[in-house]
Amino acid sequence: MTKNVYTLFKGALKFGVPYLHGYNGDPHYVIVLDDGNDGLFRIVADVKSDSSQGGPDGYHVLYTWNQFFDHPMVPALKALPMGLAQPGFPKLDYVHDPRLLELGSMRPIAFDTDDETNDINDVLDGMLQLDRSTEPVKYVYPGKSGDDLRKGWTSPQDVIVYGFGFLFEPKQDGLHETHMNQGNPKPQPGSHIRDHSSENGPFQDGAVIVQVGDSFEALFVAFQTQLVPTDNRGRPVRHGAHPILTLS
């Protein structure tokens, strides 16, 4: 089997599936797209960390939401055909491309705060322009611990989604790792932090970028356990690496 590589998928939105309280399985917001072949392609966005930093907010992911994304890559994104772009697409790097985002602006965000509109579900709902007043779509999420029946909603708008990350294996019918993919430390023996250090690399960071008409929005996600700055292999520098939140 060939090694899974960093990629981008561009597709038209079918519906979005927020991760709500009471769901089982992986804490992912699922963006379901038309795969261009009478099937579905799903992009999953992490809404909760698998390693707590302690305290009630320790599992919250870090995020930056750019509602007016105008990076120089935008014309290249527009020019891409629908479907899988591998290779031949703009690569993302949160640390080494200062035009992409300001790391110091990243803040923790909850995944679901019920009636409040201040969680990552609401951010993605807004980006995708979902209409939650309509009848929900039934969606079976195929998680590692079994299938989970969830609810999705459609949008009245024509929405194009650009997902950056890595393909599911072996089916390659979806994309994950849509977050920062560098700066993961090697945990000390006995640490509660899961070891994601093998996933580090430069210019392979994930994101969800949404286009409605000629307007672009971007969501960038990282984890509180990740450290910066990183070297040219995406690893935390040996001396002086620190959590992203200390940049603020």
Chain center to CA of 94: 13
Percent of the chain with pLDDT over 90: 74
CA atoms of 231 and 184, how far apart (whole Å)? 12
* Residue with token string 């200390």: 246
pTM: 0.94
Please report the pLDDT score of residue 24 as a whole number.
84
Please report the pLDDT score of residue 54 as a whole number.
66
Percent of the chain with pLDDT over 70: 95
Mean pLDDT of the chain: 91
Confidence of residue 182 (pLDDT cuts 50, 70, 90): very high
Phi, psi at residue 126, to the nearest 5°? Answer: -70, -40
For residue 100 the two structure tokens come to: 């992409």
In the chain, the amino acid numbered 170 is P
Averaged pLDDT for residues 90-97 = 97
| Per-residue exposure over 203-241, b if at least 16 CB sit within 10 Å of its own CB, e if not | bbbbbbbbbbeeebbbbbbbbbbbbbebbeebbbeeeeb
